[in-house]
């Protein structure tokens, strides 16, 4: 009897990096753990009643169509609604520029499938969204990393990185995952100018843009690109592919996202999506449209903003109350995450193990760096999923592990 192929294949199939976040999610389902890991929205805000009414209406009026195969591009009224919402933010797009995807994770996968050939370099922020790296790695991406600071991507370092000829830039301009920082207005202008100068497209990932708690909405890169690089040949969308999702404004369990791009790019992505899953669930698309319509989603997002803003404030207040000196954190104006920087020498992997003993979880920063062993001093904390009292208690627990690690780093502090 020969060894089954599956055992032999276990060694020699393509290498795949595991996702620390997903593995962590399993552990943090234990009820005694307060988790700042994951990127979960607050489930108590899901508009369950409205979803139920939407299911009823869709099945009552359009049951056979809702349960049948449908076109790869997506449910026409949903595409039209998305295009119409985009126009309010100055993005000139029609329904034909919109492809519905299974969350924006599938958007990243399809874009990678279209554009990345093995060995291509992708320019990413450092740190950047882990899920994008997972999507890109499978196609053999390599990376050109440009660091961020409190104003987002450090565009003064961009030009030399662009000269290496990356295939595209992957940018999260608003309340970035994992850092929570926002790309400043000036840097947006500079980024768009350099994209045009070097002819390198931008993939603008904007899952959190609507979750701004304070301050002025900044124009998306896709809008600045249009304004600055005036197209005289009918192109309303130029160097930028724009992505967003209903996962953070409605419900991630529906798995609905979208890609906005020039029509000739959409048409290629549609062909790839046919091969990937034929189309996204007709039913969830029709239900989401029915939920979101008539201005419901805009009202609902206001509620989310209010709750998340309070949670961010509670987390920052707790950090100030409990955390020892020498630890720094970002103060995001929106979104779901903040980013902690520990003193030099910290090992956040070890810190996570200590934190789990205190029944609190976070994601170690090194997951978010495309190359090298950076990030060991960092933690990503999610503030959307836990309630205020839990956030305070979780930060208190985390401070125990943090203080311990800092004391180990500075033995003189213990001796004193």
What's the min distance (Å) between Cβ of 4 and its own copies? 4
Residues 345-404 that bind its own copies (CB under 8 A): none
What whole-number distance in Å separates Cα of residue 329 and Cα of residue 274? 43
Does 249 help bind its own copies (rule: CB under 8 A)?
Answer: no
Q: How many residues bind its own copies (CB under 8 A)?
A: 95
**Position among 7, 88, 325, 414 found at the interface with its own copies (CB under 8 A):** 7
Helices 221-228 & 185-198 angle (0-180, nearest 10): 60
**Position among 85, 94, 184, 229 found at the interface with its own copies (CB under 8 A):** 229
Other CB atoms within 10 Å distance of the CB of residue 294:
9
Does 245 help bind its own copies (rule: CB under 8 A)?
Answer: no
What whole-number distance in Å separates Cα of residue 339 and Cα of residue 349? 15
Residue 374: phi and psi, rounded to 5, are -70, 170
**Position among 37, 180, 201, 334 found at the interface with its own copies (CB under 8 A):** 201
Closest CA to 252 of 288, 278, 210: 288
**Position among 20, 138, 301, 409 found at the interface with its own copies (CB under 8 A):** 138
**Position among 78, 123, 124, 135 found at the interface with its own copies (CB under 8 A):** 135
What whole-number distance in Å separates Cα of residue 195 and Cα of residue 392? 43
Does 237 help bind its own copies (rule: CB under 8 A)?
Answer: yes
Choose the stretch contacting its own copies; rule: CB under 8 A; options: 127-135, 210-218, 350-358, 375-383: 127-135
Count Cα atoms within 13 angstroms, Cβ side, for 166.
Answer: 25
User: How many residues comprise the chain?
Assistant: 416
Beta bridge partners of 257: 101, 245
Contact 134, 211 (CB under 8 A): no
60's CB contacts (< 8 A; 6+ apart) are: none
Closest CA to 378 of 397, 365, 387: 365
Choose the stretch contacting its own copies; rule: CB under 8 A; options: 4-12, 119-127, 318-326, 347-355: 4-12
Residues 269-298 that bind its own copies (CB under 8 A): 271-272, 274-284
**Position among 154, 193, 268, 396 found at the interface with its own copies (CB under 8 A):** 268
Does 303 help bind its own copies (rule: CB under 8 A)?
Answer: no
Does 131 help bind its own copies (rule: CB under 8 A)?
Answer: yes
96's CB contacts (< 8 A; 6+ apart) are: 263, 266
**Closest CB to its own copies among 26 and 88?**
26
Does 31 help bind its own copies (rule: CB under 8 A)?
Answer: no
**Closest CB to its own copies among 4 and 295?**
4
What's the min distance (Å) between Cβ of 49 and its own copies? 8
Does 149 help bind its own copies (rule: CB under 8 A)?
Answer: no
Residues 47-76 that bind its own copies (CB under 8 A): 48, 51-52, 55-56, 59-60, 63-72
**Position among 20, 25, 194, 356 found at the interface with its own copies (CB under 8 A):** 25
**Closest CB to its own copies among 167 and 397?**
167
What's the min distance (Å) between Cβ of 346 and its own copies? 28
**Closest CB to its own copies among 153 and 240?**
240
Choose the stretch contacting its own copies; rule: CB under 8 A; options: 10-18, 81-89, 324-332, 406-414: 10-18
**Closest CB to its own copies among 323 and 362?**
362
**Closest CB to its own copies among 235 and 329?**
235
**Position among 20, 89, 113, 350 found at the interface with its own copies (CB under 8 A):** 113
Burial class (CB in 10 A: 0-12, 13-18, 19+), 269: buried
> Residues 150-189 vs its own copies: string with x where CB under 8 A?
----------------------------------------
What's the min distance (Å) between Cβ of 40 and its own copies? 6
């Amino acid at each position: 009897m020969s060894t089954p192929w599956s055992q032999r294949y276990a060694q020699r199939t393509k290498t795949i990096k595991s996702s620390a976040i997903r593995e962590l999610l399993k552990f943090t389902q234990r009820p005694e753990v307060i988790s700042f890991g994951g990127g979960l929205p607050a489930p108590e805000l899901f508009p369950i009643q409205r979803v139920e009414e939407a299911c009823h209406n869709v099945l009552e009026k359009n049951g056979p169509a809702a349960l049948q195969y449908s076109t790869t591009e997506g449910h026409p009224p949903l595409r039209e609604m998305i295009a119409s919402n985009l126009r309010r933010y100055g993005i000139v797009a029609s329904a034909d520029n919109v492809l519905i995807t299974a969350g924006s994770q599938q958007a990243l996968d399809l874009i990678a499938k279209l554009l990345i050939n093995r060995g291509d370099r992708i320019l990413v922020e450092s740190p950047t969204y882990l899920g994008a790296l997972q999507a890109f790695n499978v196609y053999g991406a390599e990376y050109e990393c440009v660091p961020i600071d409190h104003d987002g991507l450090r565009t003064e370092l961009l030009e030399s990185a662009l000269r290496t000829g990356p295939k595209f830039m992957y940018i999260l301009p608003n309340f970035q995952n994992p850092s929570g920082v926002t790309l400043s207005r000036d840097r947006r202008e500079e980024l768009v100018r350099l994209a045009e100068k070097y002819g390198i497209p931008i993939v603008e990932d904007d899952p959190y843009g609507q979750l701004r708690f304070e301050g002025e909405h900044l124009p998306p890169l896709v809008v600045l690109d249009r304004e600055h690089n005036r197209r005289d040949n009918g192109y309303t969308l130029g160097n930028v592919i724009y992505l967003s999702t209903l996962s953070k404004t409605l419900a991630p369990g529906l798995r609905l996202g979208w890609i906005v791009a020039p029509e000739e790019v959409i048409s290629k992505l549609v062909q790839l999506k046919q091969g990937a899953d034929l189309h996204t669930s007709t039913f969830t698309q029709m239900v989401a449209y029915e939920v979101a319509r008539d201005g419901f989603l805009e009202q609902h997002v206001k509620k989310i903003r209010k709750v998340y803003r309070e949670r961010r404030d509670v987390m920052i207040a707790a950090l100030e109350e409990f955390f020892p000196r020498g630890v720094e954190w970002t103060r995001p104006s929106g979104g779901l995450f903040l980013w902690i920087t520990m003193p030099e020498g910290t090992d956040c992997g070890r810190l996570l193990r200590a934190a789990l003993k205190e029944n609190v979880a976070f994601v170690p920063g090194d997951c978010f760096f495309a190359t090298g062993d950076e990030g060991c001093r960092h933690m990503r904390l999610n503030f959307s999923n836990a309630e205020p009292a839990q956030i305070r208690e979780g930060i208190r627990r985390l401070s125990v592990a943090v203080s311990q690690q800092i004391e180990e780093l500075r033995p003189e502090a213990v001796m004193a």
